[in-house]
Amino acid sequence: EEHETAADMIDFHHGHVDLASFPVSLWKKTIAKTFDESGHGLFQSGPPAGDLPLRKMIAVYLRESRGVVCSPEQIIIGAGTPVLLQLLCHLFPKGTTVGFENPGFHRSKTVLKTGGFNVVPIAVDESGISVQDLEQYQPQLAYTTPSHQFPLGMIMPIGRRLQLLDWAASTGAYIIEDDYDGEFRYAGQPIPSLQGLDRNHRVIYLGTFSKSLIPSLRISYMVLPSPLVKEGLNMASLFKQTVSRHVQHAMALFMKNGDYQRHLNRMRTLCRKKRKTLLDAIKHEFGAHAVVRGENAGLHIILEVKSAPSEEWLTQKALEKGVKVYPASVSYVTPPETHAVLLGFGGLSEKSIADGIKKLKTAWFNGGQSRE
């Protein structure tokens, strides 16, 4: 048969979320309520750093769920992490060096580069970003994803976190902690955020509602350490505010009512089931032929297929069977010879996940050539 139609495509994209489980009618009601409660007040521009009710709710939520210690005044709301990173670029002189995880999240890396930072790749080992390399290159900033390294998926252990914080304190550097899917963790004790462990005001914390709600809301937030707050607020007033006040107020209400926490609990249960479906299917279909990495947190895994000629072959063969998987190599500065692909499972139903893995087996092992 020819390529499947786009509609039948099973897409393991790491950025997708389960739209079927978004509480649409509840969200509609919440938006309507913000109009009733706030009236015309909402029609004026709000505070550049974001409306206070939302910043208050985020501060409480972060303290309870991620161990982040901050006041609402330290929080800046923005329409997605790239916007906040762009704002951050203006707080440092052009040419400031940032040590960036290699492999790491390429969009963030590109934003920092175009923002005028000098981006230096820092190796990642099984505990996360290498503090030894940071000591060698001495950047003024380090960008890291400790809750679930992107893309390799390891969780940074407490020892490495303390080491990293010591490095920042002793050199006066800042750490950008991108907690892009920190809500989702499946094994072991939750480890407090770097921000929560830090006693020296060296951590810039980034979070988002894109994974836990829906990506199109465009609400992310940045918690600035006290030395950067004043300058950060100045910069925010230049951008005015990138998130609609209506959406901000609705989100604040959604959190205040406990609707967000309920939704998050549902999503966690759902994602835990999906993860189990995925891991069981991989074990069943591939046995010893494939290795899974980064499965203890987040909404994606890395699947390594030992016998595969190349990553490109894996993605191409999968596509021919109507499955989209993603190359791991785009996250590297110089791609290694990998035989690994990225599988996001947040946006697929359990049935699609199981079907997708079956199709991958056909694509990769049944001669790969067989026409159905």
- What percentage of the chain reaches a pLDDT higher than 90? 79
- Residue 307: C-alpha distances to residues 202, 285, 288 (Å): 44, 15, 11
pLDDT per position as a tens digit, 38-74: 667 777 788 999 999 999 999 999 999 999 999 999 9
pLDDT at 337: 82
pLDDT per position as a tens digit, 260-311: 999 999 999 999 999 999 999 999 999 999 999 999 988 999 999 988 999 9
CATH topology of domain 24-257: Aspartate Aminotransferase; domain 2 (3.40.640)
* Straight-line distance from the first to the last Cα atom of the chain, in angstroms, rounded to the nearest whole number: 6
Domain residue spans in the chain? 6-17+261-365, 24-257
Model confidence at 371: pLDDT above 50: no
Q: CATH top-level class for 6-17+261-365? A: alpha beta
Q: Would you state the structure tokens that stand for residue 173, as one six-digit string?
A: 């550097």
Q: Three-state SS for 250?
A: helix
pLDDT at 369: 42
Any residues with CB less than 8 A from the CB of 37 and at least 6 apart, and which?
249, 253
For residues 92-119, average pLDDT: 97
Model confidence at 165: pLDDT above 70: yes
Q: Where are the alpha helices (DSSP H) in 13-172?
A: 24-38, 52-66, 81-89, 106-114, 131-137, 158-171
pLDDT per position as a tens digit, 301-330: 999 998 899 999 999 999 999 999 999 998
Model confidence at 2: pLDDT above 60: no
pTM of the model: 0.92
In this prediction, residue 370 has a pLDDT band, given cuts at 50, 70 and 90, of: very low
Taking the C-alpha atoms of residue 142 and residue 165, their distance in angstroms, rounded to an integer, is: 11
- Quick check: bond before 151 cis, omega within 30? yes
Strand partners, 203: 175
Model confidence at 372: pLDDT above 80: no
Backbone φ and ψ for 22, nearest 5 degrees, come out as -75, 130
Q: Would you state the structure tokens that stand for residue 187, as one six-digit string?
A: 């094994």
Taking the C-alpha atoms of residue 129 and residue 126, their distance in angstroms, rounded to an integer, is: 9
Residue 324 Cα to chain centre, angstroms: 20
